[in-house]
Every structure is written in C-alpha cells, then in structure tokens.
C-alpha cells in the first residue's frame, strides 16, 4: 500500500500509527491560529476581536495561498495563486460596503472605516475577505462578476460560509463609536469615527483632510453624537 503524498511529506496509513504518532498528528491539525493552514479552517472564532494589522495580514496570507479549486466534475482542478498573478489587498474608505473586489486594479479591499468601528467582529470581516477572495478566484478562472452558482461553489471552497458571506456584501455593520466627525462643506462627504468628544472650543476641532488635500484649506469637522 502506498502512503499518501502531501506537500512532500508522507503520512503512514493509520494501521501503522502508534499512539504517540496519533497524538503528534492531532497536535499538528489542531493549530487553528497559525496563519499556515488557511485552506482548512477559519482563522477567527465567533466573538473574537481583531486589529487592522491582523486583517491586513490575513488578507495577504489568503492572497498568497495557492488554492486548488475543483468545482467541475469533468474538468481539471484550477490551481491559482492570486499573489503571483498580481493581486493585492488594500483598505478603502467606503461607508456602506465592508468589502470590495476590483478586477481592474486586481485588488480585494475592506472598508477601514467600518472595520475600525467593528474590531469586535473579526469573523464578519474574515468572511468579507473570503467573499472577495472568491470573486478574485472566479475572475482568475474566467468567471463573471456575479453571485452565481459557480461563485458560490468557489466561495464554499475558500470557506466563505455561503449565506452569511453573501449578506456581507452590504454588511449592515453599525456605527459603534459615540461620535462621528463630519466635514461642514456641503459637497464633501468626509467623515470619521471618534470615540472621544472633541473639546468645547471650536478651534480644537480638527480639519477635513479631503478638503485640505483638494486645496480648499482648513474646513472644520463638526461633531455628531451617535448615542
Ligand atoms: Zn460579492
Ligand atoms: Zn471636506
């Protein structure tokens, strides 16, 4: 009988395993929170918190992973490494959608604005990442820009839990900071979250970076209390 070859290592068939081998093998497979085994298990568990850095690292690891997608019965599996194909991760400032996949720029993205206010919902953002990853893989396999059955099959392969992930497209993550700072200009939609109240004197309010970068000078941010 031939031992199965996996990643250059041989695993003896079960009959030849003694107890200590089993324990050792189990330890290896139980390492949930190393970045290494992303193909098999979700990285975060329900209720876990995260950081922007951790989400970025996870995204990069997902992109650097070589995925084997075998969704067609009569076709060979596709072996895809998105990082090697030029795909990258980037944060964006969008307010409504948690995730974004740009075919043109070859990027998958997460709203930093929503993430920073919902760092206690790590699993949701992991799902968002895997959702966008599935779009990128779908594209790499010549697929369409839709949530069709092919995309769904790919999403399942990359552990995006189908329904929850689908709804994460327009993830209804709520604003959890006490304050929102908004630009006073009518045609500017810049805003950012703030946990702390600004000091009473209007002078201490920071200015809008969008307007400033557009050469419109210092436009004050106005403070809105959310709860
Ligand atoms: Zn989508
Ligand atoms: Zn502004």
3-state secondary structure of 55: helix
Ligand 2 centroid to 223 CA: how many Å? 13
pLDDT of residue 25: 35
CATH of domain 35-170: 3.30.2010.10
Please state, rounded to an integer, the average pLDDT across all residues of the chain.
Answer: 76
Ligand 2 centroid to 116 CA: how many Å? 20
pLDDT of residue 225: 84
What residue spans of 31-172 are helical by DSSP H?
52-64, 112-117, 122-140, 149-157, 162-167
pTM here is: 0.61
- The pLDDT tens digits of the residues spanning 7-60 come to 333 332 222 233 333 333 333 333 444 555 666 678 888 889 999 999 999 999
Parse the chain into domains and list their residue ranges: 35-170, 179-225
Buried b (16+ CB within 10 A) or exposed e, 151-168: bbbbbebbbbbeeebbeb
* Complete DSSP assignment for 22-33: HHHHHHHHH-TT
The Cα 46–Cα 172 span in angstroms is 17
Ligand 1 centroid to 55 CA: how many Å? 18
pLDDT of residue 89: 98
The token duo for 164 is: 């929850």
- The pLDDT tens digits of the residues spanning 68-99 come to 999 888 889 999 999 999 999 999 988 778 88
pLDDT of residue 209: 85
Residues, the chain: 227
């Amino acid at each position: 009988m031939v031992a199965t070859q996996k990643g250059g290592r041989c695993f003896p068939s079960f009959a030849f395993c003694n107890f200590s081998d089993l324990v050792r093998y189990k330890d290896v497979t139980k390492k949930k929170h190393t970045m290494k085994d992303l193909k098999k298990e979700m990285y975060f568990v329900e209720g876990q918190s995260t950081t922007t850095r951790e989400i970025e690292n996870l995204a990069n690891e997902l992109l650097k992973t070589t995925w084997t997608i075998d969704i067609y019965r009569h076709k060979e599996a596709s072996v895809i490494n998105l990082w090697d194909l030029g795909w990258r991760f980037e944060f964006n400032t969008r307010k409504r959608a948690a995730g974004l996949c740009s075919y043109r720029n070859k990027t998958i993205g997460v709203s930093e604005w929503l993430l920073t206010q919902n760092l206690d919902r790590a699993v949701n953002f992991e799902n968002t990442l895997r959702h966008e990853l599935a779009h990128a893989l779908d594209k790499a396999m010549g697929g369409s820009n839709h949530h069709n059955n092919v995309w769904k099959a790919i999403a399942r392969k990359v552990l995006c839990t189908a329904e929850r992930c689908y709804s994460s497209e327009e993830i209804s993550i709520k604003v959890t900071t006490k304050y929102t700072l908004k630009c006073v200009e009518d045609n500017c939609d810049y805003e950012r979250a703030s946990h702390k109240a600004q000091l009473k004197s209007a002078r201490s309010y920071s200015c809008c970076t969008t307007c400033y970068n557009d050469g419109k000078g210092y436009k004050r941010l106005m403070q809105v209390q959310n709860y």
